[in-house]
């Protein structure tokens, strides 16, 4: 298993040693990450997961994202001076309580165990209880843990920004500041919340005292989330989407997630003979241009498919790619790509697990922008997300805000299988806002080329800013100067990024499984505090 925090990975090992499978271990890690890296994830956010079931060779997709409050409308925003339709209207501030959507993480954790956990797979109904799965996280929250250096850096930054200005934000600090590297942080409020969930399941979160505290806090902050919104929340199991490339098949969750962007880009690149060197300017040029076209489509079409039609099959068809590929100039950047018209027919934590039976879970959980809104339900030890910031406020846009609607979602897990026999190649993911499909593309191509997980994750990356088709391209330190100069000559607007700001390029995890021996090879991103571990 591989995650961005060693203590979270250790929590997963503990559950694996007790007989848990990939689903049980994933939830244990997610809960532990809520404790050890609250700057990125938690019960106040959302989750998505892909699960590969070894017995059937099937991949299933869990959408654990929440929806907008039923009282949140464009009219309400306009009355408060946000969005279109009012004089001097302003965009919705990213940390405003109106950006809070129903937190879907808790239901997602419970639903993953219910469908795929060891207890469900045991014919006798034996297996791990939710209380046992959450026990390592509860212990970490109660006893405290030493904060990792990367986590401490961004926690301190957030304490001076989000948490300082947000309701009850001080509850996630030590006397108003973020913890120092190695300093012990305790979170008794989160321990209490997790104990309630361990005893009462997801109902304990979405009904009763916890739901009341969440709703009361949001309304006190000026938002409109109600207890009825929480009680009505449900996760959904969806058909995953995929495409083939080089003898492998890359699986993603369907919209409202943006994983489709990676599939579109892969289809586009399939028609080019990519240079073998991952850092060659000709290869990076083609990858950047493919992502520009993918974002031009996804930033328009990706929305809640239960509210609007999303032409998924058309967007990821090889035929559509062959038409769009003609827009890529092999020598020159095109920074004003427009969306196509297919024929009718996400600050985050990512981690992955493969168990002894060959089941695999690719899992992602997020608050969105660091601590999300930074608003803390009093005494509960977690912050509330700001996923609603990804709604469009333009009437008629597929992703326009609407009551009960899920927003465009940046967080995306991925799974890779072998095209020949459907066997597991491995779970993978790269966290970090609109970097995520770009990271999926770059890491997948490196793995497909034969690089081991750690080498694929260590490779310097590019990132198109904000997922905008015409955005400036950030290039990570380590890309050769001559390559940067060549990309500039091709017309790309580039900026080299170093130091702490390398977090822009995401933090990934990968586990590959040898189909003959069952041997696992893992990697964990050097841009985070994490590691990959296995039971001996």
> What are the angstrom distances between the C-alpha of 309 and each of 5, 303, 313, 403?
39, 8, 11, 17
Q: 67: which 2 tokens? A: 């929806």
Active-site residue (options: 151, 173, 348, 373): 348
416 exposed, middle or buried (CB, 10 Å; 0-12, 13-18, 19+)? Answer: buried
| Cβ contact 66:58 at 8 Å | no
Cα–Cα distance between 46 and 236 in angstroms, integer?
12
Q: If DSSP codes are grouped into helix, strand and coil, which group holds residue 409?
A: strand
Query: What pairing do the DSSP bridges indicate for beta strands 494-497 and 473-476?
Result: parallel
348 labelled catalytic? yes
Where does residue 501 rank: exposed (0-12), middle (13-18), buried (19+ CB within 10 A)?
exposed
Please give the distance of CA 381 from its chain centroid, rounded to a whole number.
Answer: 21
Tell me how far CA of residue 348 lies from CA of 46, 50, 144, 367, 472, in angstroms. Answer: 10, 16, 22, 7, 22
DSSP class of residue 411?
-
Nearest CA to 42 among 304, 353, 376, 354? 376
For residue 460, give every residue at least 6 positions away whose Cβ sits within 8 Å of its Cβ, in sequence order, or none: 279, 475, 476, 477, 478, 479, 505
Rounded distance between C-alpha atoms, residue 50 and residue 455, angstroms: 24
The Cα–Cα gap between 14 and 138 comes to 13
How far are the Cα atoms of 243, 264, 387 from residue 100, in angstroms, in the given order?
33, 30, 6
The upper half-sphere exposure of residue 357, i.e. CA atoms within 13 Å in the direction of its Cβ, equals: 19
Residue 394, helix vs strand vs coil: coil
Distance CA 159, CA 177 (A): 6
Q: For residue 115, which phi and psi values (nearest 5 degrees)?
A: -90, -40
Show the DSSP H helices in 343-489 as ranges.
435-448, 453-458, 481-489
Instruction: Tell me the angle at which helices 209-221 and 188-200 cross, rounded to the nearest 10 degrees.
Output: 130
Torsion of Cα atoms, 83 then 86 then 90 then 91, to 10°: 0
> Annotated active-site positions, please?
348
């Amino acid at each position: 298993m591989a995650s961005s925090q060693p203590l979270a990975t250790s929590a997963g090992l503990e559950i694996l040693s007790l007989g848990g499978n990939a689903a049980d271990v994933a939830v244990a890690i997610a809960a532990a990450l809520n404790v050890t890296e609250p700057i990125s994830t938690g019960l106040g956010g959302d989750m998505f997961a892909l699960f590969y079931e070894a017995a059937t060779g099937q991949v299933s997709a869990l959408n654990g994202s929440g929806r907008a409050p039923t009282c949140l409308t464009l009219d309400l925003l306009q009355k408060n001076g946000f969005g279109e339709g009012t004089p001097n209207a302003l965009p919705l501030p990213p940390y405003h309580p109106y950006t809070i959507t129903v937190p879907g993480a808790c239901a997602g954790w419970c639903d993953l165990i219910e469908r795929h956990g060891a207890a469900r797979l045991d014919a006798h109904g034996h297996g791990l209880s939710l209380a046992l799965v959450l026990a390592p996280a509860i212990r970490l929250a109660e006893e405290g843990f030493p904060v990792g250096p990367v986590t401490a850096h961004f926690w301190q930054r957030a304490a001076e920004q989000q948490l300082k200005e947000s309701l009850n934000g001080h509850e996630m600090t030590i006397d108003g500041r973020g913890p120092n590297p190695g300093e012990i942080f305790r979170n008794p409020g989160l321990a209490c919340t997790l104990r309630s969930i361990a005893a009462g399941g997801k109902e304990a979160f979405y009904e009763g005292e916890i739901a009341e505290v969440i709703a009361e806090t949001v309304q006190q902050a000026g938002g409109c989330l109600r207890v009825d919104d929480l009680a009505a929340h449900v996760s959904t199991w969806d058909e995953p989407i995929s495409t083939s490339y080089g003898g492998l098949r890359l699986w993603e969750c369907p919209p409202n997630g943006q994983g489709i962007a990676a599939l579109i880009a892969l289809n586009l690149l399939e028609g080019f003979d990519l240079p073998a060197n991952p850092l060659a300017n000709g290869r990076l040029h083609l990858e950047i241009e493919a992502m520009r076209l993918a974002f031009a489509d996804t930033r328009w079409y990706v929305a809640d498919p239960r509210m609007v039609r999303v032409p998924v099959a058309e967007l990821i068809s090889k035929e559509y790619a062959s038409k769009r590929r003609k827009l890529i100039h092999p020598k020159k950047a095109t920074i004003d790509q427009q969306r196509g018209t297919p024929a009718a027919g996400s600050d985050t934590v990512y981690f992955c697990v493969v168990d002894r039976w060959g089941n695999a879970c690719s899992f992602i959980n997020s608050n969105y922008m660091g601590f999300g809104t930074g608003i803390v339900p009093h005494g509960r030890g977690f912050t509330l997300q700001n996923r609603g910031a990804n709604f469009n406020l333009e009437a008629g846009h597929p992703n326009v805000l609407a009551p009960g609607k899920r927003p465009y979602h940046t967080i995306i897990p991925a799974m890779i299988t072998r095209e020949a026999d459907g066997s597991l190649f491995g779970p993978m993911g790269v966290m970090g806002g609109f970097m995520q499909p770009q990271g999926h593309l770059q890491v997948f191509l490196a793995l497909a080329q034969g690089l081991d997980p750690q080498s694929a994750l260590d490779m310097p990356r590019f990132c198109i800013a904000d997922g905008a088709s015409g955005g400036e391209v950030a290039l990570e330190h380590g890309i050769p100067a001559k390559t940067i100069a060549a990309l500039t000559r091709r017309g790309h607007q580039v900026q080299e990024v170093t130091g702490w700001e390398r977090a822009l390029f995401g933090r990934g995890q990968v586990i590959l499984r040898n189909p003959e021996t069952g041997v696992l090879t893992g990697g964990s991103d050097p841009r985070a505090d994490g590691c990959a571990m296995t039971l001996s």
